[in-house]
Structure 1
Amino acid sequence: MGSAGGEVRHWNADVNGISLHVAEQGPVDGPAVILLHGFPELWLSWRHQMAALAGRGFRAIAPADAAAYTVLHLVGDVVALLNHLRLPKVLVVGHDLGAQVAWHMCLFRPDMVRAVVAIGVPFFPRGPKPMTEALAGRDGFYIMQFQEPGRAERTFARYDVATVLKKFYSIEIDDLTAPPGVEIIDFLEARPSPLPWMTEEELGQYAEKFQKSGFTGPINYYRMFDTSWRLTAPWQDAKITVPAKFIYGNKDIGLKSFGTEQFVKSGALKSFVPNLEVVIIEGHHCLQQEQAERVNSEILSYFDKFTGENT
């Protein structure tokens, strides 16, 4: 993994009152790229991108800890990390929940972002009501099941950690809603064979980490959706001015929910992110792993436009 850009380096940064584990690859004086992972993932989900970026002279930096708390906490942690590294302006890549953090980084601190690539999750403008109110009556929907403290953790514990992860990584259905009285983790099915884009050894690495950390950290992000909604009131109807590229898979479950695909294709997303390119490629949700070469090509070709600037 990553011989072209050297080995992956691991270190801890004491920032913002927490110890943030960081994985890094590539020359320390190269243009910096921050990679923000989603749920339920780790820095390892960026292994292909880190090697490709490092091989092209970029400094790929992936905070490795599971996400927790509100979107303001998460963006605050990224800002603190960049200040710790004395990086005033960076390129940002985010996937899934990490894409939401990346979008909000652009919203809160556009001065620190040269350009952003978001994968799988578009920028959602702040709605008229908090998430749980908007989803009232949909108890089977995974976000609603994640709200009750301890509920998801108890149901996840029915399975070994690798199976829990595989269930999420295998999703090919159109709606993450379990039938009445059924828990989402029981409803999801794990592929019987190894995933085509992840070795059993790599799955074991993910499982080992989540075995130690548990799932509460990342699930707490979902539990903070309503709080994040209240805290982001100052940015109501604000536009993202940072240059942006949005990549999504044509079979991504996330695009089938809440009219998201229509929101993207109709141009409504572009009204909130004026400086936007949209790319649709073959694949499901975990695109940066499933279609690594294509995603690497899209990221590198986009960032090439910005690397002439001062870093």
Structure 2
Amino acid sequence: MAFDLEHHQIQTNGIRLHVVQCGPANGPLVILLHGFPEFWYGWRYQIQALAEAGYRVWVPDQRGYNLSDKPPRIADYRIGQLGADVLGLLDAAGVGKAALIGHDWGAAVTWWLAAHHPERLSRVAILNVPHPAVLGRALRRAPRQLLKSWYIFFFQLPWLPEHLFRRRQFRFGRGALRGTSRPGTFTTDDLRQYTEAWARPGAPTGMINWYRAALRAAGGVGPTGRIRIPVRILWGRLDAFLEPVLAELSLGQCDQGELTYFDRATHWLHQEEPAEVNRLLLDFLRADAPASVT
């Protein structure tokens, strides 16, 4: 049974987030958090699969992206604010706990919430972003990872990253997606959807401000300790931005962790290997789901 995609505007943490909702209204809540430079559409292969399995799925455009609010200050994008946005979504949904699945920057928010607010999360899944402590050490000590992360430092510059991103109708953004993914992952129609999202007023600056806030705030992405709740890490080995060993090191930060590598997948594994990603996510979520979820 296919479910309609419902588009809502949700007040949370003093801003409005555009949230796509799908699935049975009484299903256990699963929130999907996208990363850069995506928006809710990046989870297009997961939404229906989770909904059809009985889950209520919420997929926000995170702050700074697409149809959500775009606060003007860099400080508005510190990790604590990003996490508070998600906690506000749980409150708006009227639930005490939810499962959280994050990719890229959405995974960074997921790590932070799992460490700082485990009482609000039943379990979390992480796609291709390491535990913050692991990434911090890698940037300080691993020249190969530092080289791969050059763009983080480039994004600290004023106005120039936005100018390059917008240049010639976002050709840079489209090229970055296609150039770091398996051929055919992003279709022409997919890239049209992304271009429309990037063209929203204030979107390039809001998106890039996540990177600026991470380095400028004291403590970077903030101290994040061991993760006590169940964690499922899925990782594409061919990631152009992150070394595969970071996944194993991140697993070492988890009391109840599992790790699966995708040998032929890149950073965009949930769009390159949707069937297997969906299977693993559903197996993980069902471990503590009520009997009504199949």
- TM-score, L = length of structure 1: 0.81
Q: Which residue type is aligned with residue 167 of structure 1?
A: G
Deviation at 1:287, TM superposition (A): 1.0
Q: Is the 8 A contact 1:52 1:296 kept in 2?
A: yes
Q: Which residue type is aligned with residue 250 of structure 1?
A: R
SS at match of 1:29: coil
Pairing of 1:211-230 with structure 2 (within 5 A):
211-213=199-201, 214-230=203-219
Among 47, 62, 68, the alignment partner of 1:50 is: 47
In the alignment, structure 1 residue 108 sits paired with structure 2 residue 135: no
Residues 153, 114 of structure 1: alpha-carbon distance in 2 compared, 3 angstrom cutoff: same
Which residue is 1:290 aligned to? Answer: 272
Supply the distance in 2 between the matched residues of 1:60 and 1:169 (Cα, whole angstroms). 25
Q: Over residues 197-226 of structure 1, what are the superposed CA-to-partner deviations in whole Å (9 max), with x where a residue is unaligned?
A: 233222211111111143111110100112
SS at match of 2:241: helix
Which residue is 1:274 aligned to? Answer: 255
Residues 48, 147 of structure 1: alpha-carbon distance in 2 compared, 3 angstrom cutoff: same
Which residue is 1:93 aligned to? Answer: 101
Q: Which residue type is aligned with residue 291 of structure 1?
A: E
Residues 9, 275 of structure 1: alpha-carbon distance in 2 compared, 3 angstrom cutoff: same
Q: Over residues 124-182 of structure 1, what are the superposed CA-to-partner deviations in whole Å (9 max), with x where a residue is unaligned?
A: 217779x79999x9799111110012120122232212x23322212349xxxxxxxxx
Which residue is 1:308 aligned to? Answer: 290
Supply the distance in 1 between the matched residues of 2:267 and 2:232 (Cα, whole angstroms). 16
In the alignment, structure 1 residue 206 sits paired with structure 2 residue 194: yes
Instruction: Give the gaps of 5 or more residues in structure 2.
Output: 65-75
Which residue is 1:181 aligned to? Answer: none
SS at match of 1:277: strand
Q: Which residue type is aligned with residue 169 of structure 2?
A: D
Q: Is the 8 A contact 1:139 1:145 kept in 2?
A: no
Pairing of 1:183-198 with structure 2 (within 5 A):
196-198=184-186
Q: Which residue type is aligned with residue 45 of structure 1?
A: G
Deviation at 1:286, TM superposition (A): 0.9
Residues 101, 139 of structure 1: alpha-carbon distance in 2 compared, 3 angstrom cutoff: closer
- TM-score, L = length of structure 2: 0.85
Instruction: Give the gaps of 5 or more residues in structure 1.
Output: 174-190
Among 14, 20, 33, the alignment partner of 2:30 is: 33
Supply the distance in 1 between the matched residues of 2:159 and 2:125 (Cα, whole angstroms). 33
Which residue is 1:187 aligned to? Answer: none
Deviation at 1:10, TM superposition (A): 0.3
Identity %: 30
Pairing of 1:150-189 with structure 2 (within 5 A):
150-161=159-170, 163-172=171-180
Higher-Rg structure is 1
Among 21, 41, 59, the alignment partner of 2:18 is: 21
